[in-house]
A and B are shown apart, each in its own frame.
Chain A
Amino acid sequence: MARGEERLNDEQIVAAVLDGREELFGDLIKRYQNRLVNYLFRMVRNVDEAHDLAQEAFIKVYQALDGFDPKYRFSTWLFRVAQNAAIDHIRKRRIKVVSMHRQDADDGTNQDWEFPSTERGPYGEMRNVERGEAIQQAIDELPWEYRELILLRHYGEMSYDEIAGLKDMPLGTVKNKLFRGRQMLKQTLADYLRD
Protein backbone atom coordinates (compact mmCIF):
# COMPACT_ATOMS: atom_id res chain seq x y z
CA MET A 1 0.00 0.00 0.00
CA ALA A 2 1.22 3.44 -0.82
CA ARG A 3 1.96 5.78 2.03
CA GLY A 4 -0.84 8.15 1.14
CA GLU A 5 -3.34 5.31 1.34
CA GLU A 6 -2.45 4.55 4.95
CA ARG A 7 -4.14 7.77 5.94
CA LEU A 8 -7.38 6.96 4.15
CA ASN A 9 -10.34 6.73 6.46
CA ASP A 10 -12.93 3.98 6.15
CA GLU A 11 -15.27 6.00 4.01
CA GLN A 12 -12.49 6.97 1.61
CA ILE A 13 -11.48 3.34 1.29
CA VAL A 14 -15.07 2.38 0.52
CA ALA A 15 -15.15 5.06 -2.19
CA ALA A 16 -11.88 3.74 -3.64
CA VAL A 17 -13.16 0.16 -3.62
CA LEU A 18 -16.33 1.25 -5.41
CA ASP A 19 -14.14 3.05 -7.92
CA GLY A 20 -12.61 -0.25 -8.94
CA ARG A 21 -9.83 -0.78 -6.40
CA GLU A 22 -11.42 -3.86 -4.83
CA GLU A 23 -8.12 -4.95 -3.25
CA LEU A 24 -8.38 -2.07 -0.78
CA PHE A 25 -11.27 -3.86 0.91
CA GLY A 26 -8.54 -5.99 2.48
CA ASP A 27 -7.45 -2.93 4.44
CA LEU A 28 -10.89 -2.62 5.96
CA ILE A 29 -10.81 -6.30 6.89
CA LYS A 30 -7.41 -5.86 8.49
CA ARG A 31 -8.61 -2.82 10.37
CA TYR A 32 -11.65 -4.52 11.89
CA GLN A 33 -10.97 -8.25 11.94
CA ASN A 34 -9.66 -8.49 15.51
CA ARG A 35 -12.33 -6.29 17.03
CA LEU A 36 -15.06 -8.07 15.14
CA VAL A 37 -13.89 -11.60 15.91
CA ASN A 38 -13.38 -10.72 19.57
CA TYR A 39 -16.84 -9.21 19.81
CA LEU A 40 -18.51 -12.10 18.00
CA PHE A 41 -16.60 -14.61 20.11
CA ARG A 42 -18.13 -13.04 23.21
CA MET A 43 -21.54 -13.41 21.67
CA VAL A 44 -21.37 -16.96 20.33
CA ARG A 45 -18.60 -18.41 22.58
CA ASN A 46 -16.91 -20.32 19.84
CA VAL A 47 -13.81 -19.20 17.99
CA ASP A 48 -14.62 -20.93 14.70
CA GLU A 49 -18.18 -19.66 14.66
CA ALA A 50 -16.95 -16.17 15.49
CA HIS A 51 -14.64 -16.32 12.46
CA ASP A 52 -17.43 -17.66 10.24
CA LEU A 53 -19.76 -14.89 11.34
CA ALA A 54 -17.08 -12.25 10.87
CA GLN A 55 -16.45 -13.55 7.37
CA GLU A 56 -20.17 -13.54 6.67
CA ALA A 57 -20.42 -9.93 7.87
CA PHE A 58 -17.50 -8.80 5.69
CA ILE A 59 -18.97 -10.54 2.67
CA LYS A 60 -22.45 -9.10 3.23
CA VAL A 61 -21.00 -5.64 3.60
CA TYR A 62 -18.89 -6.06 0.45
CA GLN A 63 -21.86 -7.23 -1.55
CA ALA A 64 -23.89 -4.21 -0.50
CA LEU A 65 -21.03 -1.72 -0.56
CA ASP A 66 -22.62 0.43 -3.25
CA GLY A 67 -25.54 1.00 -0.88
CA PHE A 68 -23.27 2.42 1.82
CA ASP A 69 -24.18 5.94 2.80
CA PRO A 70 -20.95 7.85 3.58
CA LYS A 71 -22.72 10.08 6.07
CA TYR A 72 -22.78 7.07 8.42
CA ARG A 73 -19.73 5.29 9.79
CA PHE A 74 -18.51 2.13 8.13
CA SER A 75 -17.73 0.58 11.53
CA THR A 76 -21.30 1.10 12.68
CA TRP A 77 -22.64 -0.59 9.59
CA LEU A 78 -20.21 -3.50 9.82
CA PHE A 79 -20.95 -4.17 13.49
CA ARG A 80 -24.68 -3.90 12.90
CA VAL A 81 -24.47 -6.51 10.17
CA ALA A 82 -22.28 -8.72 12.37
CA GLN A 83 -24.53 -8.33 15.39
CA ASN A 84 -27.62 -9.24 13.39
CA ALA A 85 -25.82 -12.26 11.96
CA ALA A 86 -24.77 -13.36 15.45
CA ILE A 87 -28.24 -12.93 16.91
CA ASP A 88 -29.70 -14.83 13.99
CA HIS A 89 -27.09 -17.54 14.42
CA ILE A 90 -27.76 -17.86 18.16
CA ARG A 91 -31.48 -18.01 17.54
CA LYS A 92 -31.14 -20.65 14.85
CA ARG A 93 -28.72 -22.88 16.65
CA ARG A 94 -30.28 -22.23 20.03
CA ILE A 95 -26.87 -21.93 21.57
CA LYS A 96 -27.17 -22.23 25.26
CA VAL A 97 -25.29 -19.92 27.51
CA VAL A 98 -22.83 -22.32 29.01
CA SER A 99 -19.99 -21.95 31.39
CA MET A 100 -16.45 -22.14 30.17
CA HIS A 101 -15.02 -25.62 29.64
CA ARG A 102 -18.44 -27.16 30.01
CA GLN A 103 -19.83 -29.53 27.39
CA ASP A 104 -22.71 -28.14 25.44
CA ALA A 105 -25.75 -30.12 26.46
CA ASP A 106 -27.31 -29.96 23.01
CA ASP A 107 -24.63 -30.92 20.54
CA GLY A 108 -21.87 -32.20 22.75
CA THR A 109 -19.26 -29.90 21.27
CA ASN A 110 -16.69 -28.15 23.33
CA GLN A 111 -16.93 -24.42 23.49
CA ASP A 112 -13.58 -22.87 22.68
CA TRP A 113 -13.35 -20.77 25.72
CA GLU A 114 -10.07 -20.29 27.44
CA PHE A 115 -8.55 -17.34 29.13
CA PRO A 116 -4.85 -16.75 28.80
CA SER A 117 -2.98 -17.73 31.87
CA THR A 118 -1.85 -14.78 33.93
CA GLU A 119 -0.92 -16.85 36.96
CA ARG A 120 1.59 -19.67 36.81
CA GLY A 121 1.29 -23.15 38.30
CA PRO A 122 -1.70 -25.42 38.93
CA TYR A 123 -3.18 -23.11 41.54
CA GLY A 124 -2.81 -20.14 39.22
CA GLU A 125 -4.46 -22.04 36.36
CA MET A 126 -7.37 -22.94 38.59
CA ARG A 127 -7.79 -19.34 39.62
CA ASN A 128 -7.70 -18.21 35.98
CA VAL A 129 -10.45 -20.62 35.05
CA GLU A 130 -12.49 -19.63 38.06
CA ARG A 131 -12.04 -15.94 37.32
CA GLY A 132 -12.84 -16.39 33.65
CA GLU A 133 -16.06 -18.18 34.53
CA ALA A 134 -16.99 -15.49 37.00
CA ILE A 135 -16.41 -12.74 34.43
CA GLN A 136 -18.49 -14.50 31.82
CA GLN A 137 -21.25 -15.25 34.29
CA ALA A 138 -21.30 -11.64 35.44
CA ILE A 139 -21.63 -10.46 31.83
CA ASP A 140 -24.32 -13.05 31.10
CA GLU A 141 -26.32 -11.94 34.09
CA LEU A 142 -26.49 -8.37 32.89
CA PRO A 143 -29.77 -7.33 31.29
CA TRP A 144 -29.35 -7.39 27.49
CA GLU A 145 -29.58 -3.59 27.15
CA TYR A 146 -26.43 -3.24 29.29
CA ARG A 147 -24.68 -6.39 28.17
CA GLU A 148 -24.83 -5.48 24.53
CA LEU A 149 -23.24 -2.08 25.18
CA ILE A 150 -20.54 -3.60 27.41
CA LEU A 151 -19.69 -6.08 24.65
CA LEU A 152 -19.60 -3.39 21.98
CA ARG A 153 -17.45 -1.10 24.09
CA HIS A 154 -15.01 -3.55 25.69
CA TYR A 155 -14.74 -6.23 23.00
CA GLY A 156 -15.81 -4.39 19.86
CA GLU A 157 -13.74 -1.40 21.06
CA MET A 158 -16.38 0.96 19.75
CA SER A 159 -16.50 4.57 20.82
CA TYR A 160 -19.56 6.18 22.41
CA ASP A 161 -20.37 7.82 19.07
CA GLU A 162 -20.14 4.56 17.18
CA ILE A 163 -22.34 2.75 19.70
CA ALA A 164 -24.87 5.59 19.60
CA GLY A 165 -24.92 5.33 15.80
CA LEU A 166 -25.21 1.56 15.86
CA LYS A 167 -27.97 1.42 18.44
CA ASP A 168 -29.65 4.61 17.26
CA MET A 169 -29.50 5.91 20.82
CA PRO A 170 -28.73 9.37 22.18
CA LEU A 171 -25.11 9.70 23.32
CA GLY A 172 -26.20 10.37 26.90
CA THR A 173 -28.19 7.14 26.99
CA VAL A 174 -25.18 5.18 25.75
CA LYS A 175 -22.95 6.62 28.47
CA ASN A 176 -25.58 6.11 31.14
CA LYS A 177 -26.21 2.49 30.19
CA LEU A 178 -22.50 1.75 30.01
CA PHE A 179 -21.90 3.30 33.42
CA ARG A 180 -24.78 1.35 34.94
CA GLY A 181 -23.65 -1.86 33.30
CA ARG A 182 -20.16 -1.39 34.69
CA GLN A 183 -21.49 -0.62 38.15
CA MET A 184 -23.41 -3.90 38.08
CA LEU A 185 -20.32 -5.79 36.92
CA LYS A 186 -18.24 -4.12 39.58
CA GLN A 187 -20.61 -5.30 42.27
CA THR A 188 -20.80 -8.83 40.92
CA LEU A 189 -17.04 -9.11 40.51
CA ALA A 190 -16.17 -7.30 43.73
CA ASP A 191 -14.24 -10.31 45.07
CA TYR A 192 -11.92 -10.30 42.08
CA LEU A 193 -11.43 -6.56 42.14
CA ARG A 194 -10.12 -6.66 45.68
CA ASP A 195 -7.27 -8.99 44.70
Chain B
Amino acid sequence: MATVDHATIQEWLHRELDDDLAGPESQSLRHHLTDCADCRAEQRALQGLNQLLTEGTVAARSGFQEEVMAALPPAAWEARTRRAWRLPLALLVALMIASALLMRGTPLEGGGSVIGIVTAVADLFAVALVTGAGLLGHSWQGMRMVFQELLSGSATGFLGLAILLVGLNSVLFLTLRRRARVGSVAARRGD
Protein backbone atom coordinates (compact mmCIF):
# COMPACT_ATOMS: atom_id res chain seq x y z
CA MET B 1 0.00 0.00 0.00
CA ALA B 2 1.36 3.45 -0.96
CA THR B 3 2.52 5.75 1.84
CA VAL B 4 0.17 8.64 2.50
CA ASP B 5 1.49 11.97 3.78
CA HIS B 6 0.31 13.38 7.09
CA ALA B 7 -1.48 16.35 5.52
CA THR B 8 -3.71 13.93 3.62
CA ILE B 9 -4.25 11.86 6.74
CA GLN B 10 -5.29 15.02 8.59
CA GLU B 11 -7.83 15.75 5.87
CA TRP B 12 -9.11 12.19 5.99
CA LEU B 13 -9.54 12.36 9.75
CA HIS B 14 -11.81 15.37 9.34
CA ARG B 15 -13.71 13.71 6.52
CA GLU B 16 -14.08 10.55 8.58
CA LEU B 17 -15.61 12.66 11.33
CA ASP B 18 -18.09 14.00 8.77
CA ASP B 19 -18.92 10.54 7.37
CA ASP B 20 -17.37 11.54 4.08
CA LEU B 21 -14.65 8.91 3.90
CA ALA B 22 -15.19 5.49 2.41
CA GLY B 23 -13.58 2.78 0.31
CA PRO B 24 -9.83 2.69 -0.29
CA GLU B 25 -9.23 6.00 1.50
CA SER B 26 -10.88 4.67 4.63
CA GLN B 27 -8.80 1.50 4.44
CA SER B 28 -5.60 3.51 3.97
CA LEU B 29 -6.50 5.62 6.98
CA ARG B 30 -7.08 2.51 9.13
CA HIS B 31 -3.77 1.12 8.00
CA HIS B 32 -1.93 4.35 8.77
CA LEU B 33 -3.51 4.71 12.19
CA THR B 34 -2.28 1.31 13.31
CA ASP B 35 1.30 2.52 12.90
CA CYS B 36 1.08 6.23 13.73
CA ALA B 37 0.56 7.27 17.35
CA ASP B 38 0.46 10.99 16.45
CA CYS B 39 -2.41 10.52 14.05
CA ARG B 40 -4.26 8.34 16.55
CA ALA B 41 -3.94 11.17 19.08
CA GLU B 42 -5.22 13.60 16.47
CA GLN B 43 -8.16 11.30 15.77
CA ARG B 44 -9.00 11.17 19.49
CA ALA B 45 -8.78 14.95 19.74
CA LEU B 46 -11.12 15.43 16.80
CA GLN B 47 -13.60 12.92 18.19
CA GLY B 48 -13.41 14.69 21.54
CA LEU B 49 -14.06 18.03 19.88
CA ASN B 50 -17.03 16.58 18.06
CA GLN B 51 -18.35 15.30 21.36
CA LEU B 52 -17.90 18.70 23.00
CA LEU B 53 -19.74 20.44 20.18
CA THR B 54 -22.58 17.95 20.39
CA GLU B 55 -23.22 18.80 24.03
CA GLY B 56 -26.16 21.09 24.59
CA THR B 57 -28.01 20.09 21.46
CA VAL B 58 -31.47 21.64 21.36
CA ALA B 59 -34.43 19.95 19.70
CA ALA B 60 -37.69 21.43 18.50
CA ARG B 61 -40.31 21.50 21.24
CA SER B 62 -43.05 18.91 21.27
CA GLY B 63 -45.88 19.77 18.88
CA PHE B 64 -43.80 22.24 16.90
CA GLN B 65 -44.68 20.60 13.59
CA GLU B 66 -48.40 20.94 14.30
CA GLU B 67 -47.91 24.54 15.42
CA VAL B 68 -46.23 25.46 12.15
CA MET B 69 -48.81 23.62 10.06
CA ALA B 70 -51.61 25.42 11.90
CA ALA B 71 -49.88 28.77 11.39
CA LEU B 72 -49.36 28.35 7.64
CA PRO B 73 -51.32 31.06 5.88
CA PRO B 74 -52.83 30.14 2.50
CA ALA B 75 -50.22 30.53 -0.21
CA ALA B 76 -51.02 32.17 -3.52
CA TRP B 77 -49.98 29.02 -5.39
CA GLU B 78 -52.63 26.94 -3.57
CA ALA B 79 -55.32 28.47 -5.79
CA ARG B 80 -53.53 27.07 -8.81
CA THR B 81 -53.36 23.48 -7.61
CA ARG B 82 -55.58 20.79 -9.06
CA ARG B 83 -57.26 20.30 -5.71
CA ALA B 84 -58.41 23.92 -5.69
CA TRP B 85 -60.45 23.25 -8.84
CA ARG B 86 -62.03 20.08 -7.52
CA LEU B 87 -64.84 21.71 -5.53
CA PRO B 88 -65.97 24.14 -8.27
CA LEU B 89 -65.85 21.32 -10.82
CA ALA B 90 -67.77 19.00 -8.51
CA LEU B 91 -70.39 21.74 -7.99
CA LEU B 92 -70.70 22.25 -11.71
CA VAL B 93 -71.17 18.54 -12.33
CA ALA B 94 -73.70 18.34 -9.50
CA LEU B 95 -75.57 21.28 -10.95
CA MET B 96 -75.67 19.64 -14.36
CA ILE B 97 -76.93 16.37 -12.91
CA ALA B 98 -79.56 18.18 -10.86
CA SER B 99 -80.65 20.09 -13.96
CA ALA B 100 -80.87 16.87 -15.93
CA LEU B 101 -83.00 15.27 -13.23
CA LEU B 102 -85.30 18.26 -12.90
CA MET B 103 -85.78 18.62 -16.63
CA ARG B 104 -86.29 14.93 -17.27
CA GLY B 105 -89.41 14.36 -19.27
CA THR B 106 -89.79 18.02 -20.16
CA PRO B 107 -89.81 18.63 -23.91
CA LEU B 108 -86.60 20.46 -24.74
CA GLU B 109 -85.53 22.71 -27.55
CA GLY B 110 -82.83 21.53 -29.90
CA GLY B 111 -84.04 17.97 -30.33
CA GLY B 112 -81.74 15.67 -28.26
CA SER B 113 -82.11 15.67 -24.50
CA VAL B 114 -78.37 15.94 -23.77
CA ILE B 115 -77.90 18.92 -26.07
CA GLY B 116 -81.00 20.44 -24.59
CA ILE B 117 -79.69 20.05 -21.03
CA VAL B 118 -76.34 21.57 -21.93
CA THR B 119 -78.08 24.45 -23.67
CA ALA B 120 -80.34 25.00 -20.66
CA VAL B 121 -77.38 25.05 -18.23
CA ALA B 122 -75.49 27.42 -20.52
CA ASP B 123 -78.57 29.68 -20.64
CA LEU B 124 -78.76 29.56 -16.86
CA PHE B 125 -75.13 30.69 -16.55
CA ALA B 126 -75.68 33.41 -19.14
CA VAL B 127 -78.69 34.74 -17.25
CA ALA B 128 -76.73 34.65 -13.98
CA LEU B 129 -73.89 36.52 -15.63
CA VAL B 130 -76.18 39.20 -17.04
CA THR B 131 -77.95 39.55 -13.71
CA GLY B 132 -74.66 39.88 -11.84
CA ALA B 133 -73.37 42.47 -14.30
CA GLY B 134 -76.61 44.39 -14.02
CA LEU B 135 -76.46 44.40 -10.23
CA LEU B 136 -72.84 45.54 -10.28
CA GLY B 137 -73.62 48.28 -12.78
CA HIS B 138 -76.52 49.53 -10.71
CA SER B 139 -74.43 49.44 -7.55
CA TRP B 140 -71.87 51.71 -9.15
CA GLN B 141 -74.65 53.91 -10.45
CA GLY B 142 -76.03 54.13 -6.95
CA MET B 143 -72.63 55.05 -5.57
CA ARG B 144 -72.27 57.72 -8.23
CA MET B 145 -75.63 59.19 -7.29
CA VAL B 146 -74.71 59.32 -3.62
CA PHE B 147 -71.42 61.07 -4.39
CA GLN B 148 -73.14 63.47 -6.77
CA GLU B 149 -75.65 64.31 -4.10
CA LEU B 150 -72.93 64.96 -1.54
CA LEU B 151 -70.79 67.04 -3.87
CA SER B 152 -73.55 69.09 -5.46
CA GLY B 153 -75.20 69.81 -2.17
CA SER B 154 -74.08 72.02 0.65
CA ALA B 155 -70.51 72.71 1.70
CA THR B 156 -71.21 70.65 4.83
CA GLY B 157 -71.84 67.57 2.70
CA PHE B 158 -68.59 68.11 0.82
CA LEU B 159 -66.69 68.60 4.08
CA GLY B 160 -68.26 65.46 5.53
CA LEU B 161 -67.15 63.46 2.52
CA ALA B 162 -63.62 64.85 2.74
CA ILE B 163 -63.41 63.98 6.46
CA LEU B 164 -64.74 60.51 5.77
CA LEU B 165 -62.14 59.87 3.05
CA VAL B 166 -59.22 61.23 5.09
CA GLY B 167 -60.38 59.25 8.12
CA LEU B 168 -60.65 55.98 6.21
CA ASN B 169 -57.22 56.48 4.66
CA SER B 170 -55.69 57.25 8.06
CA VAL B 171 -57.17 54.10 9.56
CA LEU B 172 -55.83 52.04 6.67
CA PHE B 173 -52.38 53.63 6.93
CA LEU B 174 -52.17 53.12 10.71
CA THR B 175 -53.31 49.52 10.45
CA LEU B 176 -50.69 48.68 7.82
CA ARG B 177 -47.98 50.45 9.78
CA ARG B 178 -48.84 48.60 12.97
CA ARG B 179 -48.85 45.29 11.16
CA ALA B 180 -45.41 45.96 9.76
CA ARG B 181 -44.12 46.79 13.23
CA VAL B 182 -45.61 43.81 14.94
CA GLY B 183 -43.79 41.63 12.46
CA SER B 184 -44.58 38.57 10.54
CA VAL B 185 -43.97 36.05 13.32
CA ALA B 186 -46.50 37.56 15.68
CA ALA B 187 -48.97 37.86 12.85
CA ARG B 188 -48.52 34.20 11.97
CA ARG B 189 -49.02 33.13 15.54
CA GLY B 190 -52.37 34.81 15.37
CA ASP B 191 -51.46 37.16 18.22
Contact = CB atoms under 8 A, between A and B. Distances in A.
Interface of A: 18-23, 25-26, 29-30, 33-34, 36-38, 41, 47, 50-56, 58-59, 62-66, 113-116, 118, 131-132, 135, 150, 153-155, 159-160, 175, 178-179, 182, 185-186, 189, 192-193
B11 interface: yes
A157 B80 CA distance: 35
Given A30-B65, A33-B60, A51-B60, A135 B55 contact: yes
A29 B18 CA distance: 24
B56 A132 contact: yes
- The interface residues of chain A, by DSSP majority, are classed as helix
A34 to B, nearest CB: 5
5 contacts: A20-B82, A36-B60, A56-B188, A154-B50, A192-B52
Given A65-B75, A66-B80, A189-B49, A175 B55 contact: no
A172 B69 CA distance: 38
B73 A59 contact: yes
Interface string B63-85: 01111110111011110111110
Given A55-B185, A65-B77, A20 B84 contact: yes
Interface of B: 10-11, 14-15, 18, 20, 45-46, 48-50, 52-61, 64-69, 71-73, 75-78, 80-84, 184-185, 188
Given A20-B82, A52-B185, A37 B58 contact: yes
Contact of B14 (A18, A135, A179): A179
Given A132-B56, A175-B15, A55 B188 contact: yes
A192 to B, nearest CB: 6
A152 to B, nearest CB: 12
Given A30-B65, A37-B60, A59-B188, A20 B71 contact: no
A146 B64 CA distance: 30
